Structure 1
Amino acid sequence: MNLYLPVERWQSRTTFVFALAMAAVGLGNLWRFPWLMGEHGGAPFFFSYLLCLFFIAVPLLVAEVVLGSHGRGSPFLTLSWAADVSGRSRLWLTVALLSCLAGFLLLVSYLLIAGWSLSYAYQLQLGGFAAISLPGAAEVLASKLSASAGLMRWQLLAAVLLAVAVAVGVRKGIGLFVWIAIPLMMFLLGVLISFSVEFGDLGAAGAYLFAWQPLDFDRGSFMAALGHALYTLCIGVAVGMSYGAYAPHKLPIVRSVITVAIFDVVVAVAAGVAIFPLLFANNLMPAQGFGLLFVSVPYAFGNMPFGDLYGALFFLTVTLIALGTAVALLEPIVSVLEQQFRVRRVLAAISVTAVAFLLSVYATVDLASAAPGEGFLLWLDGVTSEWLIPAAVLLLALFVGWRMPRELLRRELAREPDILFSLWYFLIRFVAVPVIAFAWLWLSLVP
């Protein structure tokens, strides 16, 4: 019997789905997915993304949740317990080590973006972007970076909110947060879509996002679809293991994860409809990353009727999404400190958040002086996306698919029909492992 049972669990399947969905939504759906669709052929990319999402990413997330529901502890205790009962070496704990490290590095970026978004929401509602020019919007960002103390104060506020949500506990903290955040996020997205449909260029956005342009789709497009499918479900950062440890008994894991994936697709498409019509209405070329979020979007809202109000609501939505993912990234590390090293949850949450906040402050200062294509944030992104996450995902698929006994996995997925379990087992062994290995090799060798 596993002796490392967590004190708390989700009160219901819905809370588990909400928590995993809030983690999965992520900022990639706001500033990356719509741009990827438009740049890689529209509909061909979208259908490739769906294939990668449901036949590779979903089975991998199921594997993470299965480990968590089996181990019922922190990622390290979960992997330790799974290795012992499977008769395997404890070197497989490398999966937990890589995952927690990748999650922490990503946490720095999400904390930075949450703080910056609060700053932009405040400035927009004061009319700070009214009738601004595009160079003027870029100048606002440059001035914020040159006088970065203001941004740091907002980052500190975001850090406090994050630490409180995790420190309070699984039910009263994270559980309550996701029950507030999911309905609020969907309401805000609905408001923003209504505004975008009324004042934006919906036709141009639809032609960009959903056009059938197979000539724009190539092998690189498929790799982009695969990468985003893995990134959007927070695979390889121990979130599935951590949240799976708190799952109710006899949870239909596969069907719950499929629900999360469907929700993620809906939000991704909704984000594109909420943002891109406004960009086209202002004759802006689609972009991704910081240029889209902190230059193009404020400029678009600043030159729209009622743009101050709706722009502020947009950046509040971004803050909510960033904090939701940050909570999910912080929880596995806090659970390791709490269960492995017996650190009190409150102290663990505050300590890890404080370190992430200091690194986010350094990243903000670094952005003011870094040359284009360089800097601390880009280094973090490169280390996590090119090395830590691919290694963690590949080892996860190998361990669950090839090292854990089939009968043990079947017990954890007892609520699923035989045909669904067999399909998942086939996909994790014979699809996920070779595709992830090939993708990592391709990423490493192709410039």
Structure 2
Amino acid sequence: MSSRDQFASKIGFILAAAGSAIGLGAIWKFPYMAGTNGGSVFILLFILCTVIIGLPILIAEFMIGRRGQLDPINSFKTQAPGKPWYMVGWLGLIACGIILSFYSVVGGWILSYLFRAVTLQLTGQGLDFASLFSDIIANPLEVLIAQGAFMLLTLLIVQAGIKGGIEVASKWMMPLLFIFFILLFIRSVTLDGAMEGIKFMFVPDWSYLNIKTLLLALGQAFFSLSVGVSAMITYSSYLSPKENIVSSAGNVAVMNIIISILAGLVIFPAVFALDYSPEQGPGLVFVILPAVFEQLPMGGLFLIIFFILILFATVTSAIAMLEVVVAIGIGQKTEGRKRASWIFAAIIFLIGIPSALSYGVMSDFTIMGKNFFDFADYITSSILMPIGALLISLFAGFHYSKKVSQQELNSSSLLFTIWLTIVRYLAPIAILIILIRSAFA
């Protein structure tokens, strides 16, 4: 165990963990979820749910991982010998593999758009972006090449290890992500008519304050922190015992909230200023935003920056998912990382082929009325992730003694009592509500 790789610094760990959380959920899903659910009220509920429910579960994952200092399966085996808790690690392995299989497809779409933006193919006046998006995702050769390129980029980072790969990449990508967001934010809010978009985000429309919006905000907060798939258990297993996991988790949660709000501040002022509807749904990033940027001075440059930004966010999440699979694959060994990275990346790429072809040659193939891509998304987001988070919450809440947990968290009695109450009772109830709602959706 002494030879096991570790993060070289606390900031490296925080940026890597934040990168895992800040992915398409924050930049792609959050804006369209806010756009279709009233804007400001959804955002307020999202922040509350992140702090009250998501953060305590994130702390629980950090505690399990840092205490185990092993991959998720062996971490549970050593901390609960002879009990089936190690199945949570297997659940995380399966979930991460499936998520990355279709996540890499979206990563490929982003690479396709970035290539077109750099080669100035997205700046022609009157370009039909809806048709362009449909053509790209239906082209089997392009989507498979782009998916393969994205997986190659991901595995090259993971094979280099924690210090030399994941930490270095996160230290570069995450600050650049913030810088690019600030540039786009300044450009967006200085447009004529941008104030309507800002009002949409910050002036509450209380008619949206209902159970449906609360549950959607809870689901967004829950999934945007990347909990439930053992990614945070894996990352925190490389963390030194001296680090304060409560403050680290708090920093990750705050960064996730800031990036989500910045995404809204980039998108909604521009959408309102150029007279588009915020209720465009999932096509907001690939269909509406290119049309918005096309109408701006220097729009081609800002579009390139935007897709680089989304690529960074997507890659930092993808490397976390591949790291879970690789960490379990190599166990306590370190010399097999490169080989394992290539093998598992290749397997995940092959598993992702049906998802890549779901909008083209395999569009007629359905499971439970969903194409392969949507089914893979549904089975992970609506079933595997909530179950994983539920089990992690119960393990942290009931397996450890109060003395052990409080020592690990190194917090005051009041804060510890609040955390324990949430992970034992409030979070499991909230997760069960999400599972029930998903089952009947």
TM range (shorter): over 0.9
Q: Give the CA deviation at 1:408.
A: 2.3
Counterpart of 2:15 in structure 1 is 18
Counterpart of 2:52 in structure 1 is 55
Residue 209, structure 1, aligned to residue 189, structure 2: no
Q: Give the CA deviation at 1:214.
A: 1.5
Map residues 248-263 of structure 1 onto 2, 5 A cutoff. 248-263=240-255
Q: Give the CA deviation at 1:290.
A: 4.6
Correspondence for 2:110 among 100, 108, 117: 117
Counterpart of 2:425 in structure 1 is 430
**Per-residue CA shift, 1:276-321, capped at 9, x if unaligned?**
2222233222246651222112222223221111111111111110
**Per-residue CA shift, 1:71-126, capped at 9, x if unaligned?**
10000011111112xxxx52112211212211221112321222221221121232
One-letter code aligned to 2:424: R
Question: Aligned equivalents of 1:69 and 1:127: distance in 2?
Answer: 47
Residues 137 and 296 in structure 1, CA contact (< 8 A), matched pair in contact too: yes
Counterpart of 2:307 in structure 1 is 315
Counterpart of 2:78 in structure 1 is 81
Q: Give the CA deviation at 1:131.
A: 4.2
Residues 235 and 393 in structure 1, CA contact (< 8 A), matched pair in contact too: yes
Residues 99 and 236 in structure 1, CA contact (< 8 A), matched pair in contact too: yes
Correspondence for 2:377 among 378, 381, 387: 381
Q: Give the CA deviation at 1:5.
A: 5.3
Correspondence for 2:413 among 413, 418, 421: 418
Correspondence for 2:404 among 408, 426, 439: 408
Q: Give the CA deviation at 1:240.
A: 1.2
Question: Aligned equivalents of 1:54 and 1:119: distance in 2?
Answer: 36
Residue 171, structure 1, aligned to residue 163, structure 2: yes
Residues 189 and 195 in structure 2, CA contact (< 8 A), matched pair in contact too: no
Residue 351, structure 1, aligned to residue 343, structure 2: yes
Question: Aligned equivalents of 1:30 and 1:425: distance in 2?
Answer: 31
Map residues 97-246 of structure 1 onto 2, 5 A cutoff. 97-133=90-126, 136-199=128-191, 201-246=193-238
Question: Aligned equivalents of 1:144 and 1:44: distance in 2?
Answer: 35
Residues 67 and 241 in structure 2, CA contact (< 8 A), matched pair in contact too: no
Counterpart of 1:46 in structure 2 is 43
Residues 29 and 282 in structure 2, CA contact (< 8 A), matched pair in contact too: no
Secondary structure of the equivalent of 1:398? helix
| Larger deviation, residues 185-194 vs 43-52 | 43-52
Aligned-pair RMSD on alpha carbons? 2.1
One-letter code aligned to 1:68: G
Q: Give the CA deviation at 1:366.
A: 1.8
Secondary structure of the equivalent of 1:10? coil
Question: Aligned equivalents of 2:386 and 2:138: distance in 1?
Answer: 35
One-letter code aligned to 2:122: F
TM-score (norm 2): 0.93
**Gap change, CA 1:48 and 1:163, over 3 Å in 2:** same
| Larger deviation, residues 351-360 vs 259-268 | 351-360
Q: Give the CA deviation at 1:142.
A: 2.5
Map residues 62-77 of structure 1 onto 2, 5 A cutoff. 62-77=59-74
One-letter code aligned to 1:383: I
| Larger deviation, residues 269-278 vs 338-347 | 338-347
**Gap change, CA 1:146 and 1:32, over 3 Å in 2:** closer
Question: Aligned equivalents of 1:47 and 1:196: distance in 2?
Answer: 22
Q: Give the CA deviation at 1:200.
A: 6.2
**Per-residue CA shift, 1:315-354, capped at 9, x if unaligned?**
1111110000001111111000001798811111111211
**Per-residue CA shift, 1:46-73, capped at 9, x if unaligned?**
2222221111111101111100011100
Question: Aligned equivalents of 1:74 and 1:154: distance in 2?
Answer: 30
Q: Which runs of 5+ in 1 are unaligned?
A: none
Question: Aligned equivalents of 1:283 and 1:99: distance in 2?
Answer: 43
Regions of 4+ moved over 6 Å: 340-343
Counterpart of 1:396 in structure 2 is 392
TM-score (norm 1): 0.92
Question: Aligned equivalents of 1:57 and 1:412: distance in 2?
Answer: 19
How many residues align structurally?
437
**Gap change, CA 1:66 and 1:116, over 3 Å in 2:** same
Q: Give the CA deviation at 1:196.
A: 1.3
Residue 270, structure 1, aligned to residue 262, structure 2: yes
One-letter code aligned to 2:109: W
Residue 324, structure 1, aligned to residue 316, structure 2: yes
Question: Aligned equivalents of 2:118 and 2:21: distance in 1?
Answer: 28
**Gap change, CA 1:413 and 1:241, over 3 Å in 2:** same
| Larger deviation, residues 341-350 vs 319-328 | 341-350
Secondary structure of the equivalent of 1:368? coil
Residues 35 and 279 in structure 2, CA contact (< 8 A), matched pair in contact too: no
Counterpart of 1:299 in structure 2 is 291
Q: Give the CA deviation at 1:31.
A: 1.8
Q: Give the CA deviation at 1:130.
A: 2.1
**Per-residue CA shift, 1:242-272, capped at 9, x if unaligned?**
0110112221111111111111111111111
Residues 34 and 43 in structure 2, CA contact (< 8 A), matched pair in contact too: yes
Residues 36 and 281 in structure 2, CA contact (< 8 A), matched pair in contact too: no
